[in-house]
A = this chain, B = another copy of it.
Amino acid sequence: MKIDTGTTAWMITATALVLLMTPGLAFFYGGMTRAKSVLNMMMMSFVSIITVTLTWVLYGHSLAFDAFGDGDNVINKIIGGGDALGLQSLIDTATKDDGTGMPNLVFSAFQLTFAIITVALISGAIADRAKFGAWVVFGIAWATLVYFPVAHWVWGGGWLAGLGIEDFAGGTVVHVNAGAAGLALAFVLGKRTGWRKDPMRPHNLTLVLLGVGLLWFGWFGFNAGSELAVDGTAGLAFMNTQVATAAAAGAWILVEKLRDGHSTTLGVASGAVAGLVAITPACGFVDPWAALVLGLVAGAVCAYAVGLKYRFGFDDSLDVVGVHLVGGAIGAVSLGLIARYPFADGQNEGLIYGGPISQLGVQVLGPVAVGLYSFIMAYVIGKIIDKTMGFRIEQEDEVTGIDITTHAETGYDLGTVHSSGVASVNGPVSAAQAKKVDA
């Protein structure tokens, strides 16, 4: 097996970076919840690492990235084959024969980290109120029935790839996909007790910023790593990521300043994520000036889009829809206009560079098709779970706090008094206790 050590060095690093994004997301989401549900929020991300890693090793890689049969058949347009079950066949093989690639296991690990965070992203829509076991089951089912196929459609040689869709690092596969599923679950689970009545403000904005810091950092692996090589395009993807993110964060807090009179920390955080999301599909296809404009648009639009849930009355608790579905769609569609560096067969430049309108069509079709598929599947899976094992916790447990009632822990115990029997002067002590007392 011959590989390029530079490429492989970067891809190993990029994989570690993307893996770090899921803890980063846990902190981002966890900080945004109320103190009584921070642990459950973070647990939903961490358990996604577990469920997706295990399913990936067993069959996920195969469904997404193996060709079905010889690859030249209709089934392969929809789903991959089974050659890499257990990953055994990837050992000691490389992505390219000419020695410019990387070990297949590195490629597999890199793609695995994308699947993990996509599942974890969904959890933001159902903060504070989901049964933990139900979430575990949902994660496995959705990864299997939605993520692995959709990844195959776009990156594994499936039908959207055949249409020449441009999705550099996952605007459609990751963000539209997760956002649509989050919307579906918000409907399945219903609103939190007290929604629209309580502010439900972030309980720890330092944790939110920590999450954003790690996400931003890891996203360089996500975007520049998606080139799967170390070259000029990787450099372009890197720079564009930085530019769009800064622009979007700036646009978001400017909107806030003009609309509400103050720029908030949550605004900088959300704006940065909106920029990262929007540039994800575009980062290797566009010029820096276009990344800047895309970032400004995404930041400003998403700053308004997070208010949609109040208008339409669904409790997408941590704005998965407003940021990931909307931001991902903006990025995907924008390529029909501003793409300048298509690289695969069937891909074209955007309209302003004289590309065909058909590319714009594909860029619209992709998010719509993936969004609808993901929404419907997530809704059906969610409903089945709800009817069988139940998806939502009891209201009293929700009001008391899901951390203590589901995980028998509280996030913080900062009281100064820790003498015997005083587990905490300030915080609930244990579910066991809560149970015994209240029941």
Q: What residues of chain A have their CB less than 8 Å away from a CB belonging to chain B?
A: 1, 3-10, 12-13, 15-17, 19-20, 23-24, 26-27, 30, 34-36, 38-39, 42-43, 46-47, 49-51, 53-54, 57, 86-88, 91-92, 94, 102-106, 108-109, 112, 132, 194, 197-207, 209-210, 212-214, 216-217, 220-221, 224, 230-232, 234-236, 238-239, 242-243, 245-247, 249-250, 253, 260-266, 268, 272, 287-289, 292, 399, 401, 406-416, 418-423, 426-431
What's the number of copies of this chain in the assembled complex?
3
| Most B Cβ at <10 Å: residue of A16, A202, A216, A429 | A16
- B209 contacts A26, C-beta separation under 8 Å: yes
Contact A23 B263 (CB under 8 A): no
The 8 closest A-B pairs by CB, nearest first: A5-B6, A23-B213, A103-B235, A53-B246, A9-B10, A105-B235, A6-B6, A50-B250
Whether A206 pairs with B53 at a CB distance below 8 angstroms is no
Q: Which partner residue on chain B sits nearest A16 by CB separation? A: B220
- Residues on B with beta carbons closer than 8 Å to the beta carbon of A401: 416
Q: In whole angstroms, what is the CA distance A156 to B199 when docked? A: 51
The distance in angstroms between the C-alpha atoms of A172 and B431, with both chains bound, is 38
Cβ 8 A contact of A109, one of B204, B242, B268: B242
Alpha-carbon separation in the docked complex, A349 to B241 (Å): 41
Whether B8 lies near A263 (C-beta < 8 A) is no
Question: How far does the Cβ of A340 sit from chain B's closest Cβ, in whole Å?
Answer: 9
Most chain B CB within a 10 A radius of its CB, from A15, A246, A427, A428: A246
Give the Cβ gap from A408 to chain B, nearest Cβ, in Å. 5
Q: Which residues of B contact A406 (CB under 8 A)?
A: 262
- Please state if A35 and B415 are interface contacts (CB–CB under 8 Å): yes
- Are A8's CB and B10's CB within 8 A? yes
Query: Which among A9, A50, A423 has the highest number of chain B CB atoms within 10 Å?
Result: A50
Assuming the contacts A30-B206, A105-B238, asked whether A292 and B416 have C-beta atoms less than 8 A apart, the reply is: no
B407 to A416, Cβ gap below 8 A? no
Query: In the complex, what residues of B have CB within 8 A of residue A5's CB?
Result: 4-7, 9-10, 230-231
Given contacts A23-B212, A263-B407, 14 further A-B contacts (CB under 8 A): A6-B8, A12-B230, A12-B235, A13-B13, A27-B206, A91-B236, A94-B232, A106-B239, A109-B242, A201-B413, A202-B413, A204-B412, A205-B412, A262-B407
Chain B residues near A220 (CB, 8 Å)? 12, 15-16, 19
CA separation between A261 and B430, bound complex, in Å? Answer: 13
Interface residue from B24, B43, B236, B411 paired with A204 (Cβ < 8 Å): B411
The residues of B that contact A12 with a CB separation of less than 8 Å are 10, 220, 224, 230, 234-235, 238
Q: By the criterion CB–CB under 8 Å, are A108 and B239 in contact?
A: yes
Among A7, A235, A408: residue with most chain B CB under 10 A: A235
Measured CB to CB, the nearest residue on chain B to A243 is B57
List chain B residues, Cβ under 8 A from A253.
47
Contact B1 A232 (CB under 8 A): yes
Of the residues B92, B198, B212, B429, contact of A420 by C-beta under 8 Å = B198
Bound complex: CA of A429 vs CA of B203, how far in Å?
A: 11
Contacting residue for A407 out of B7, B105, B235, B264, CB 8 A: B264
CB neighbours of A3 from chain B (8 A): 230-232
With known contacts A86-B289, A250-B50, A264-B407, A201–B423 Cβ distance under 8 A = yes
Most chain B CB neighbours (cut-off 10 Å) among A53, A214, A239, A243? A239
